[in-house]
Chain A
Amino acid sequence: DIVMTQSPDSLAVSLGERATINCKSSQSVLKSSNSRNYLAWYQQKSGQPPKLLIYWASNRESGVPDRFSGSGSGTDFTLTISSLQTEDVAVYYCQQYYSTPLTFGGGTKVEIK
């Protein structure tokens, strides 16, 4: 199984400042045949289901604000919120879809400082 490890577990960021969340996979999720990283990011607000933010490691889902961006390749990935807004308070998860079982990171809670 591919283990996904997120860091930090939580972070508090001032409004308008940058938030950075890291995700590391126990093996590469880059498929050489298509040069795609099978890595997604989700946002889960309190009391709601998760919402897809980023897929293929860096592609923003339709309707997602451009302050959210994903980067990385192979085993190391980052979700960046360039200018934190109050509505971004949530738990963020990474997920690999390179192989089954499909696995998630443990989540990173983002709060306002």
Chain B
Amino acid sequence: EVQVVESGGDLLQPGGSLRLSCAGSGFTFSTYWMHWVRQVPGKGLVWISRINGDGSITTYADSVRGRFTISRDNAKNTVYLQMDSLRAEDTAVYYCVKSPVSGNCFDSWGQGTLVTVSS
């Protein structure tokens, strides 16, 4: 069974840093693009970053470029999101998401991890 499980969400102050982790299982991890999508509770879905199978290609939304860094360790079947210079508007549930082999839609979602940025 394909699973992705996020961890690392926390409450922190503006300007702080946090690293989210996402462990994948049940699939050949290094084959697939992985993404982070966030959702403010009660609001819509926003894609923020992706990384290809071998980690050589990364893409970011404008809202996080230069502050967030996506990476992966295929030996550990884990993708990371390093979040720096956090702002109140980064408060959201962060989902780790897997794409299918073809096309960057999202076929497997984690349960999400909550990041709260507040003074």
Binding site for B on A (CB under 8 A): 36, 38, 40, 42, 44, 49-52, 55-56, 61, 93, 95, 97, 100-107
Instruction: Out of B44, B46, B47, B109, name the residue touching A49 (CB < 8 Å).
Output: B109
Q: Tell me the B residues contacting A by CB distance below 8 Å.
A: 35, 44-47, 50, 59, 61-62, 95, 100, 103-107, 109-112
**Across chains A and B, which 8 residue pairs bring their CB atoms closest together, nearest first?**
A40-B105, A49-B109, A102-B47, A97-B104, A104-B45, A55-B105, A101-B61, A52-B107
Q: List chain A residues, Cβ under 8 A from B44.
A: 93, 104-107
The answer for the CA separation of A71 and B62 in the assembled complex, in Å, is 31
Given A49-B112, A55-B105; 13 other pairs, CB 8 A cutoff: A38-B105, A40-B106, A42-B45, A44-B45, A52-B105, A55-B103, A97-B104, A100-B59, A101-B59, A103-B47, A104-B47, A106-B44, A107-B44
| Nearest chain B residue, comparing its CB with the CB of A40 | B105
Do A101 and B104 form a contact, CB below 8 Å, given A50-B45, A106-B44? no
Point out the residues of chain B lying under 8 angstroms from A93, CB to CB.
Answer: 44-45
Task: Label chain B's interface by main secondary structure.
Answer: loop
Q: Are A50 and B61 in contact (CB under 8 A)?
A: no
B110 touches A49 (CB 8 A): yes
Q: Provide a sorted-by-A list of 14 A–B residue pairs whose CB atoms are within 8 angstroms.
A: A36-B103, A49-B95, A49-B112, A50-B45, A50-B95, A50-B106, A55-B103, A55-B105, A56-B103, A97-B104, A101-B62, A102-B47, A102-B50, A106-B44
Query: Which A residues lie within 8 Å of B107 (CB)?
Result: 52, 55, 61
How distant is B29 from chain A, measured CB to nearest CB, in Å? 19
In the complex, the answer to whether B109 meets A102 with C-beta atoms within 8 Å is no
Asked whether, in the complex, the Cβ of A101 is within 8 Å of the Cβ of B47, the reply is yes
Residues in B neighbouring A38, C-beta threshold 8 A: 103, 105
Cβ of A36: which chain B residues have Cβ within 8 Å of it? 103
* A56 CB contacts on chain B under 8 angstroms: 103
* CB contact under 8 A between A49 and B111, given known A95-B105, A101-B47: yes
Q: Smallest CB-CB separation from A49: which chain B residue?
A: B109
Known contacts A102-B47, A104-B47; A51 and B105 CB within 8 A of each other: no
